[in-house]
């Protein structure tokens, strides 16, 4: 689930991931350092990688400098994400130079997307593994020698359903419900790097989520690039939501990212009738211009999208909406951009994730070109962010005086004794901690004041 406080941030977070069976340091347990770039799907994938390596006897290292194996799980969605990884590889080359026996591997979407260019820039890599090759990682690392071992086969059957990921702990867990994407939006590299859509059997998901509930997880976020396209046999995504809601101990259910075209009556009905499914929806629009939406091959018009928003708000009155918007897609004129700003005002998103268009090799839009200059993309992005800040502030201020049940996550990042959690609408609520209130509890809070990113509250 992407957090509202990330508004306008263009780079995905980088996360160092520590494996679960820590602290053995003998040679029989090689130490691995795994760094993750990108979206929640990548974080979930790193948890699967962690489980695969742990089963094979690896333990974690806290720092790349101390590791026997260094792995970067990468993102290829925009050029900027790739540049960050290339910069990091430059740093890692120094470790490889000082300790040639260290194995360095590149995993994930960038490995799949750009391996030739990467091997040219980072010839010292020992392992290059795409998103469907993680099962073979221990073998690949073991065999890596003078030449890099590369495995970027896409596998229509691979779901890792039998591997329980190493969850990081906390009250919320992200569970991959489906992998890949069949939509082929013109700008997007995901179908090429993650392969075709495939869903994980409900029985496997129920087992995994049941185990998480047993470990104290209260909130589950179902993941997929188009998660609401989920289908396994007769079960669609609405049915899956209801099944997950039947699991004792799980109090809240969310999902990301749904595609507007797959927002069926069954999903809306499950959201409206199942109290555990939270009233929050990330509904990427990408552009508010029909001309640009058609060029993006998104499969809906602005009118279709706005009609969906009306149906969602009628069925789920408390719903909060967030979105993704791309600034400066090829051919975007001032009038198209104005139309996007207009739709943002009309919908009144609670938060938004906004990006400069980044041309991606292999996509359908690659051949179209890149007509909007870098400077103009920057100007449009800044205007989008400024508008969204205003809208978010107004929407958050409208909650002042109201009460919300907040699932407590722990200490707030700032403020001595302050605690933080999420409202059902996925807004960050911050309040002074009191004796007896701990992570995993749900407390009722009243909103005292609001910024565009969070709500300052008191326990009601």
Residue 181 touches ligand SF4, criterion: CB under 6 A: yes
Identify whether the C-beta of residue 419 lies closer than 8 Å to the C-beta of residue 413.
no
Identify whether the C-beta of residue 385 lies closer than 8 Å to the C-beta of residue 444.
no
According to DSSP, the β-strands at 280-282 and 252-256 are unpaired
Beta-bridged to residue 456, according to DSSP, are: 430, 449
Rounded Cα distance between 112 and 300, Å, is: 29
Residue 190 touches ligand SF4, criterion: CB under 6 A: yes
Rounded Cα distance between 11 and 77, Å, is: 10
Q: How far is the CB of 328 from ligand SAM (least distance, A)?
A: 9
Got the DSSP string for 57-121?
T-EE-SSGGG-SEEEEEE--SSHHHHHHHHHHHHHHHHHHHH-TT-EEEEEEHHHHH-HHHHHHH
Q: Out of ligand SF4, ligand SAM, none, which partner does residue 52 contact, by CB within 5 to 8 A per kind? A: none
Residue 226 touches ligand SF4, criterion: CB under 6 A: yes
Ramachandran angles phi, psi of 26, nearest 5°: -75, 170
* Binding-residue pattern over the window 246 to 265 for ligand SF4, x denoting contact by CB under 6 A: -------------x------
Rounded Cα distance between 250 and 346, Å, is: 35
Residue 257 touches ligand SAM, criterion: CB under 6 A: yes
According to DSSP, the β-strands at 103-108 and 127-129 are parallel
Cβ closer to ligand SAM: 39 or 175? 39
Q: Tally Cβ neighbours within 10 Å of residue 31.
A: 20
- Give how many residues touch ligand SAM by CB under 6 A: 18
| Residue in 19, 32, 34, 39 binding ligand SAM, rule: CB under 6 A | 39
Judging by beta carbons within 10 Å of its beta carbon (0-12, 13-18, 19+), is residue 294 exposed, middle or buried?
middle
Residue 226 touches ligand SAM, criterion: CB under 6 A: yes
Rounded Cα distance between 108 and 137, Å, is: 12
Residue 326 touches ligand SAM, criterion: CB under 6 A: yes
Q: Out of ligand SAM, ligand SF4, none, which partner does residue 39 contact, by CB within 5 to 8 A per kind? A: ligand SAM
Q: How far is the CB of 180 from ligand SF4 (least distance, A)?
A: 9
Stretch that binds ligand SF4, among 22-30, 115-123, 179-187, 365-373 (CB under 6 A): 179-187
Which residue matches tokens 């910024």?
451
Stretch that binds ligand SAM, among 23-31, 115-123, 137-145, 355-363 (CB under 6 A): 355-363
Q: Tally Cβ neighbours within 10 Å of residue 202.
A: 18
Q: How far is the CB of 168 from ligand SAM (least distance, A)?
A: 21
Stretch that binds ligand SF4, among 83-91, 108-116, 188-196, 383-391 (CB under 6 A): 188-196
Q: Tally Cβ neighbours within 10 Å of residue 228.
A: 29
| Residue in 191, 202, 224, 238 binding ligand SF4, rule: CB under 6 A | 191
Rounded Cα distance between 321 and 347, Å, is: 8
Residue 190 touches ligand SAM, criterion: CB under 6 A: yes
Residue 196 touches ligand SF4, criterion: CB under 6 A: no
Which residue matches tokens 């997929």?
224
Q: How far is the CB of 272 from ligand SAM (least distance, A)?
A: 22
Residue 115 touches ligand SAM, criterion: CB under 6 A: no
Cβ closer to ligand SAM: 5 or 446? 5
Residue 424 touches ligand SF4, criterion: CB under 6 A: no
Q: How far is the CB of 326 from ligand SF4 (least distance, A)?
A: 9
Residue 426 touches ligand SAM, criterion: CB under 6 A: no
Cβ closer to ligand SF4: 107 or 188? 188
Stretch that binds ligand SF4, among 117-125, 153-161, 181-189, 341-349 (CB under 6 A): 181-189
Rounded Cα distance between 41 and 227, Å, is: 11
Rounded Cα distance between 153 and 118, Å, is: 17
Q: How far is the CB of 104 from ligand SF4 (least distance, A)?
A: 28
Rounded Cα distance between 436 and 411, Å, is: 13
Identify whether the C-beta of residue 279 lies closer than 8 Å to the C-beta of residue 291.
no
Written as six digits, the tokens of 334 are 């001032």
Which residue matches tokens 């101390």?
66
Cβ closer to ligand SF4: 41 or 102? 41
Mapped onto helix, strand or coil, the DSSP state of residue 35 is strand
| Residue in 58, 167, 355, 426 binding ligand SAM, rule: CB under 6 A | 355
Cβ closer to ligand SAM: 242 or 259? 259
List contacts with ligand SF4 (CB under 6 A). 181, 183-185, 188, 190-191, 225-226, 259
List contacts with ligand SAM (CB under 6 A). 39, 77-78, 187-188, 190, 225-226, 257, 259, 284, 286, 324, 326, 355, 357-358, 360
């Amino acid at each position: 689930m992407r957090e509202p406080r990330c508004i306008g941030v263009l780079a995905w977070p980088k996360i160092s991931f520590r494996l679960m069976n820590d602290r053995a340091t003998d040679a029989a347990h090689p130490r691995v350092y795994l760094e993750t770039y990108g979206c929640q799907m990548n974080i979930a994938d790193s948890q699967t990688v962690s489980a695969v390596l742990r089963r094979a006897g690896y333990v974690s290292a806290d720092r790349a400098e101390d590791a026997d194996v260094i792995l970067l799980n990468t993102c290829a969605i925009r050029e900027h994400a790739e540049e960050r990884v290339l910069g990091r590889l430059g740093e890692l080359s120094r470790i490889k130079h000082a300790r040639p026996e260290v194995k360095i591997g590149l995993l994930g979407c960038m490995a799949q997307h750009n391996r030739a260019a990467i091997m040219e820039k980072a010839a010292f890599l020992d392992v290059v593994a795409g998103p469907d090759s993680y099962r073979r990682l221990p073998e690949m690392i073991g065999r890596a020698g003078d030449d890099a071992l590369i495995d970027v086969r896409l596998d229509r059957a691979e779901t890792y359903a039998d591997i329980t990921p190493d969850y990081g702990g906390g009250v919320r867990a992200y569970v991959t419900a489906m992998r890949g994407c069949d939509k082929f939006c013109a700008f997007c590299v995901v179908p090429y790097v993650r392969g075709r859509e495939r869903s994980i059997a409900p029985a496997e998901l129920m087992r995994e989520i049941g185990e998480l509930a047993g470990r104290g997880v209260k909130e589950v976020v179902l993941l997929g690039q188009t998660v609401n396209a989920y289908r396994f046999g007769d079960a669609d995504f609405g049915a899956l939501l209801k099944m997950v809601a039947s699991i004792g101990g799980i109090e809240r259910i969310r999902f990301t990212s749904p595609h507007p075209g797959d927002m069926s009556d069954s999903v809306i009905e499950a959201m409206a009738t199942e109290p555990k499914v939270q009233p929050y929806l990330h509904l990427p629009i990408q552009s508010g211009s029909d001309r640009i939406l058609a060029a993006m091959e998104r499969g809906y018009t602005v009118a279709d999208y706005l009609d969906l928003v009306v149906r969602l708000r009628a069925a789920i009155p408390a719903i909060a909406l967030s979105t993704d918007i791309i600034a400066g897609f090829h051919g975007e004129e001032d009038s198209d951009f104005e139309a996007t700003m207009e739709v943002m005002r009309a919908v009144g998103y609670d938060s938004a994730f906004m990006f400069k268009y980044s041309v991606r090799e292999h996509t359908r839009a690659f051949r179209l070109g890149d007509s909007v200059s870098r400077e103009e993309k920057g100007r449009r992005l800044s205007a989008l962010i400024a508008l969204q800040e205003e809208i978010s502030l107004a929407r958050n201020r409208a909650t002042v005086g109201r009460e919300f049940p907040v699932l407590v996550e722990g200490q707030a990042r700032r403020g001595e004794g302050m605690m933080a959690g999420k409202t059902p609408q996925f807004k960050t609520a911050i309040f002074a901690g009191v004796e007896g209130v701990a992570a995993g509890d749900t407390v009722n809070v009243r909103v005292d004041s609001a910024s565009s990113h969070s709500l300052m509250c008191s326990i009601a």
